[in-house]
Amino acid sequence: MEFTAQQLGQYNGSDPSKPIYVALKGRVFDVTTGSSFYGPGGAYTMFAGKDASRALAKMSKNEEDIISSLDGLSEKEIGVLNDWEKKFEAKYPVVGRVVS
């Protein structure tokens, strides 16, 4: 499935009848099984329904970092993002891609 950023936002955990999605490097993961982390009240709820690539690379929960842009990231930050991507791939199914 293809999602615009706006469509992805509908899967932010606020509607219990919908799955929870988080995108990483443009790939959309179904993180519903991790709803204690990504659902309402979870430690990572701010990533739900968004592309959290930059924030995860920077290990940041700041709103301005919860975007898909990788511009200006250091080699180390890209490595951190790649590690997150491997964790997501091992734990959550990919359900689509974010398109602009």
pLDDT tens for 18-71 read 999 999 999 999 999 999 999 999 999 999 999 999 999 999 999 999 999 999
Global pTM value: 0.95
Determine the 3-state secondary structure of 47 from DSSP: helix
> Of 27, 89, 30, 79, whose CA–CA distance to 58 is shortest?
79
Structural domain range at position 93:
2-98
pLDDT at 99: 95
pLDDT at 100: 82
- With cut-offs at 50, 70 and 90, classify the pLDDT of residue 75: very high
Distance CA 72, CA 16 (A): 36
Distance CA 46, CA 5 (A): 14
Residues, the chain? 100
CATH of the domain at 87: 3.10.120.10
pLDDT at 81: 97
Number of domains in the chain: 1
